[in-house]
């Protein structure tokens, strides 16, 4: 089966490719990876802008937005009281009412739009930015190259997977422009708020949110099947499972997680859509259903999903750490087993999102134990990263700086998780900013730093040109400083009892003394946002004008650096044969301090 | 950092705060330990031309040590946490006072059973967003919701419980200090989620008596 596919691709290669088949409907895993990267980066920018709006509202509640809020159009239409009341009626009937005046009348982010903002910030970042980049882009680009094969097992399915994700993205973006606004029930979409128009005022926005996530699930399933098949069947000669780079291991495990978790999400989403459109009552108590059922199904998917976001980061960080420490990774097998245990345990901890949900508290007790247990493999990984640094010869390149940030920020994100694993402490911090701080330390401090590190690291192989490292350093330090200035104080807000998802903390007496912290966070967040402009500029500039790169600029061992830069269709000039593990750095009795996997010792 | 915690006024809040502090100190020590080693290694083993790193693939003994140490550590934390959870959410003490709280978009409706202590009788009294309880008494809240999921949150009591439509959940507390405290909603419940707010009045025995007499004068 797979052999047939490979010959099929080779056959196609002989034909001259049109722009259409080379750049748009390409079967080549590297081009598909770049498509995912571009999709992910565009959505990253959008998700970031939504975050800026959220921060504006929290730092300066109910004040008009700068620039947009003060434009003439706003000064005119914003003062019409009726606009607010009839916010969602007669959407396009009056020509003077455009999208902006309807959504943010008077330039003020109202509570309705605010709810859409944080819902869509999370949805977009998780499903449309981090997953497409970490899983879609890195998975597609690295798996065939790192295991030494020509392409994915199912190139057509691969192409389809991207375009399905693209359609899913369009559907999701469409939601911003329908009457009633976009989904506003949080990224977790708890019914009955999400299942009834009557309760939320959101009509097709929520439907499109559901449909889009279903489409994205189909795309992820196609990708997962492809990744698993490729890794199991198409490894180069000599590439045993325990010679695979940890990045490939992490993506392999992620693919299995997606394969097992997404059907559960899909079924939950179907039920929700049925509840919304065809009057079923799976999640409605008045019709005999149960709103808690959604939470069980959602988090059964949702917790493995969290590991989908962090595991590729762990894999990438391990590879980069070993490469720039110029030292074999400490405890390779322990790393693999830790990731496997995270994946297995990840399926029995979902209830820790539901300690205060009304689920039987005795069940909460058992989930506390399983949740505490999942801290163990994370700790093992951290100690192994630390062990890798001991006795190393550390090169502080830009990818390495990002990797070290990943490790240290993941430690904070992991440790803050212990608080909420303890059920009594969770009573207080559940649904507060403590949770928001925790998730951002894991997903921004973890996944995003690994993502940045990975892009700086593999950019030369992808585009044949290196990124500018001076800009890279400026970007890293600004991101690192303002990331902490933005998200660390959120722990304090959480300890103060500041709820998540409130549009205006000034409505509560006990939160008013902390408003200066909110303002501080907002300023830091804007600086964090500005720092990303450097990255995006560097990214697009270097793609065309960057310094041409050699085949193995980092003197790394793994197979992708054996292939020419950028790799041609089919990747390797001759099929590589693997003789050793991926992390043979500092081998004694060798002149160079690295030993590529395809070189006999 | 934990100075930011709102003042605790509930009996079991002391136990929650104790666990909070305990985990806070433990995680701080671990963080300083890990960060300290990391910074030390980063300085000591920074790149030097011509030097080669230690060629080591790991150490099984160390793996076993830190795996078992963290396992024991986190499970111990779970064991220490369990009794407080049991006390707060599972083994509810007998109530002195019962109030039925129904959440709706975007109010807390407090229903008092009146002198007969039975709900559904003529002397029931419903007050929006104001919860009156006596100090040092065990209060049971029968928590319900009329529409979406809300979360009954009283920061000063260290109390939080989601209110579910179609279900009645009983939570309890015993306030140790009189005063006026806020009751926000902690679960996203729609456009009015922000600003959904009730107040808890913890009365001294005399004040509580007066409040009773004011509302049920004939009894």
State which residue of chain A sits closest to B157, comparing Cα positions. A428
Residue B164 three-state SS = coil
State which residue of chain B sits closest to A415, comparing Cα positions. B27
Distance from C-alpha of A35 to C-alpha of A223, rounded to nearest angstrom: 14
Contact criterion met (CB < 8 Å) for A115 and B167 = no
Cβ count near A56 (within 10 Å): 20
Q: Over the stretch A70-81, which tens digit does the pLDDT of each residue have?
A: 555 555 554 444
User: Please, are residues A378 and A371 in contact by the beta-carbon 8 Å criterion?
Assistant: no
Identify the pLDDT of residue A97: 60
Identify the pLDDT of residue A522: 97
Distance from C-alpha of A56 to C-alpha of A121, rounded to nearest angstrom: 14
Distance from C-alpha of B74 to C-alpha of A372, rounded to nearest angstrom: 5
Q: Over the stretch A372-396, which tens digit does the pLDDT of each residue have?
A: 999 999 999 999 999 999 999 999 9
Distance from C-alpha of A160 to C-alpha of A154, rounded to nearest angstrom: 10
Q: Which of B7, B78, B192, B196 to mutate to test the interface with A (most CBs of A within 10 A)?
A: B78
Measured between beta carbons, which residues in chain A are less than 8 angstroms from residue B6?
A: 496-497, 510
Residue identified by tokens 């996997």 is A597
Q: Measured in whole angstroms, how far is the alpha carbon of residue A332 from the centre of its chain?
A: 25
Which residue intervals of chain B bear CATH 1.10.287.90?
2-90
Q: Where are the domains of chain A?
A: 29-62+109-561
CA angle (B87, B91, B97) in 5-degree steps: 100
Going by DSSP bridges, is the β-strand pair B159-163/B130-134 parallel, antiparallel, or unpaired? unpaired
* Encoded tokens for B199: 């107040």
DSSP code per residue over A279-343:
---SS-GGGT--HHHHHHHHHHHHHHHHHHHHHHHHHHHHHHHHHHHTSPPTTHHHHHHHHHHHH
Which residue intervals of chain B bear CATH 2.60.40.420?
97-215
B2-90 topology per CATH: Helix Hairpins (1.10.287)
Residue A20's Cβ-count burial label (10 Å; 0-12, 13-18, 19+) is exposed
CATH of A29-62+109-561, one of 3.40.50.2300, 2.40.30.10, 1.10.357.10, 1.20.210.10: 1.20.210.10
Q: Over the stretch A176-200, which tens digit does the pLDDT of each residue have?
A: 999 889 999 999 999 999 999 999 9
* Encoded tokens for A212: 């889009």
CA angle (A457, A462, A468) in 5-degree steps: 50
Contact criterion met (CB < 8 Å) for A418 and B185 = no
User: Please, are residues B186 and A430 in contact by the beta-carbon 8 Å criterion?
Assistant: yes
Contact criterion met (CB < 8 Å) for B88 and A331 = no
Supply the DSSP symbol for A489: H
User: Please, are residues B104 and B146 in contact by the beta-carbon 8 Å criterion?
Assistant: yes
The percent helix, strand, coil of chain B (3-state, each to 5) is: 35, 30, 35
Whether residue A202 has pLDDT greater than 70: yes
Residue identified by tokens 């992490």 is A250
Architecture of domain B97-215: Sandwich (2.60)
Greatest pairwise CA separation for chain A in angstroms: 81
CB pairs under 8 A between A and B: 289
Measured between beta carbons, which residues in chain A are less than 8 angstroms from residue B163?
A: 358
Nearest to A402 by CA among A583, A309, A535: A535
Region for residue A89 given its phi and psi (left: phi exceeds 0; alpha: psi -120 to 50; beta: otherwise): beta
CA angle (A153, A157, A162) in 5-degree steps: 120
ipTM: 0.96
Whether residue A5 has pLDDT greater than 80: no
Contact criterion met (CB < 8 Å) for B57 and A491 = no
- Tens digit of pLDDT per residue, chain B (219 long)? 889 999 999 999 999 999 999 999 999 999 999 999 999 999 999 999 888 899 999 999 999 999 999 999 999 999 999 999 999 999 999 999 999 999 999 999 999 999 888 999 999 999 999 999 999 999 999 999 999 999 999 999 999 999 999 999 999 999 999 999 999 999 999 999 999 999 999 999 999 999 999 999 876
């Amino acid at each position: 089966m797979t052999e047939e596919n490979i010959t099929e691709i080779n056959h196609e290669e002989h034909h001259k490719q049109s722009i259409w088949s080379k750049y748009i409907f390409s079967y080549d895993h590297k081009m598909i990876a770049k498509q995912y990267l571009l999709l992910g980066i565009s959505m990253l920018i959008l998700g970031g802008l939504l975050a800026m709006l959220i921060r504006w509202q929290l730092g300066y509640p109910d004040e008009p937005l700068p620039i947009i809020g003060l434009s003439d159009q706003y000064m005119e239409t914003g003062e019409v009281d009726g606009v607010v009341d009839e916010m969602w009626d007669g959407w396009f009937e009056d020509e003077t009412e455009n999208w902006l005046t309807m959504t943010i009348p008077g330039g003020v982010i109202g509570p309705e739009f605010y709810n859409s903002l944080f819902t869509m910030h999370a949805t977009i970042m998780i499903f449309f930015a981090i997953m497409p980049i970490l899983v879609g882009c890195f998975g597609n680009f690295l798996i065939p190259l790192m295991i030494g094969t020509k392409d994915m097992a199912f190139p057509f399915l691969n192409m389809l997977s991207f375009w399905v994700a693209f359609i899913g993205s369009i559907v999701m973006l469409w939601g911003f422009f329908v009457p009633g606004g976009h989904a506003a029930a949080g990224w977790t979409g708890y019914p009955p708020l999400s299942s009834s128009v009557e309760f939320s005022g959101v009509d097709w926005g929520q439907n499109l949110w559901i449909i889009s996530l279903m489409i994205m699930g189909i795309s992820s399933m196609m990708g997962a099947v492809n990744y698993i098949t490729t890794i199991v069947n198409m490894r180069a000669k000599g590439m045993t499972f325990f010679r695979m780079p940890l990045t490939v291991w992490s993506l392999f495990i992620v693919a299995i997680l997606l394969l097992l978790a997404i059907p559960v999400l899909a079924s939950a989403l179907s039920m929700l859509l049925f509840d919304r459109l065809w009057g079923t009552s799976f999640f409605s108590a008045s019709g005999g259903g149960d709103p808690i059922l959604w939470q069980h199904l959602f988090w059964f998917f949702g917790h493995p999903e969290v590991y989908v976001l962090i595991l590729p980061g762990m894999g990438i960080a391990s590879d980069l750490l070993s490469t720039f420490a110029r030292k074999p990774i400490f405890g390779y097998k322990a790393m693999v087993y830790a990731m496997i245990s995270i994946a297995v345990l990840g399926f029995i901890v979902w209830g820790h999102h539901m300690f205060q949900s009304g689920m039987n508290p005795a069940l909460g007790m058992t989930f506390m134990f399983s949740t505490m247990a999942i801290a163990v493999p994370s700790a093992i990984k951290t100690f192994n990263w630390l062990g890798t640094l001991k006795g190393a010869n550390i090169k502080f390149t830009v990818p390495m700086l990002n990797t070290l940030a990943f490790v240290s920020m993941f430690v904070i994100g992991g440790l803050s998780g212990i608080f909420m694993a303890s059920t009594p402490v969770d009573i207080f911090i559940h649904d507060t900013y403590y949770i928001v701080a925790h998730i951002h330390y894991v997903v921004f401090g973890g996944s995003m730093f690994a993502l940045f590190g990975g892009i700086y690291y593999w950019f030369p192989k992808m585009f044949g040109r290196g990124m500018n490292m001076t800009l890279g350093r400026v970007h890293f330090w600004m991101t690192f400083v303002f990331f902490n200035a933005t998200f660390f104080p959120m722990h304090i807000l959480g300890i103060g009892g500041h709820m998540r998802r409130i549009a205006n903390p000034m409505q509560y007496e006990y939160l008013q003394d902390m408003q200066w912290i909110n303002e501080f966070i907002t300023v830091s967040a804007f600086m964090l946002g500005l720092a990303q402009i450097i990255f995006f500029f560097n990214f697009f500039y270097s793609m065309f004008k960057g310094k041409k790169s050699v085949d193995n600029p980092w003197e790394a061992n793994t197979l992708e650096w054996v292939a020419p830069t950028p790799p041609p269709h089919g990747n390797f000039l001759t099929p590589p044969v693997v003789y050793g593990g991926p992390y043979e750095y500092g081998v004694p009795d060798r002149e160079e301090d690295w030993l590529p996997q395809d070189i006999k010792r | 950092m934990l100075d930011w915690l709102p003042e605790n006024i509930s009996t079991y809040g002391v136990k929650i705060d104790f666990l909070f502090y305990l985990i806070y100190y433990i995680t701080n020590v671990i963080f300083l330990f890990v960060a300290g080693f990391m910074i030390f290694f980063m300085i000591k083993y920074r790149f030097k031309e011509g030097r080669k790193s230690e060629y080591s693939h790991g150490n099984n003994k160390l793996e076993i040590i830190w795996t078992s140490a963290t396992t024991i550590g986190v499970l111990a934390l779970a064991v220490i946490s369990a009794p407080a959870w049991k006390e707060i959410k599972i083994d509810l003490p007998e109530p002195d006072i019962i109030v039925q709280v129904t959440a709706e978009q975007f109010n807390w409706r407090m229903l008092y059973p009146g002198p007969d202590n039975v709900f559904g009788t003529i002397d029931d009294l419903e007050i929006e967003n104001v919860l009156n309880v006596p100090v040092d008494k065990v209060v049971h809240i029968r928590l319900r919701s009329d529409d979406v999921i809300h979360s009954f949150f009283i920061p000063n009591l260290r109390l939080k419980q989601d209110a579910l439509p179609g279900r009645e959940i009983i939570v309890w507390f015993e306030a140790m200090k009189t005063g006026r405290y806020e009751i926000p909603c902690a679960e996203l419940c729609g456009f009015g989620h922000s600003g959904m707010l009730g107040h808890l009045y913890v009365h001294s025995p005399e004040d509580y008596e007066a409040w009773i007499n004011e509302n049920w004068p004939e009894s």
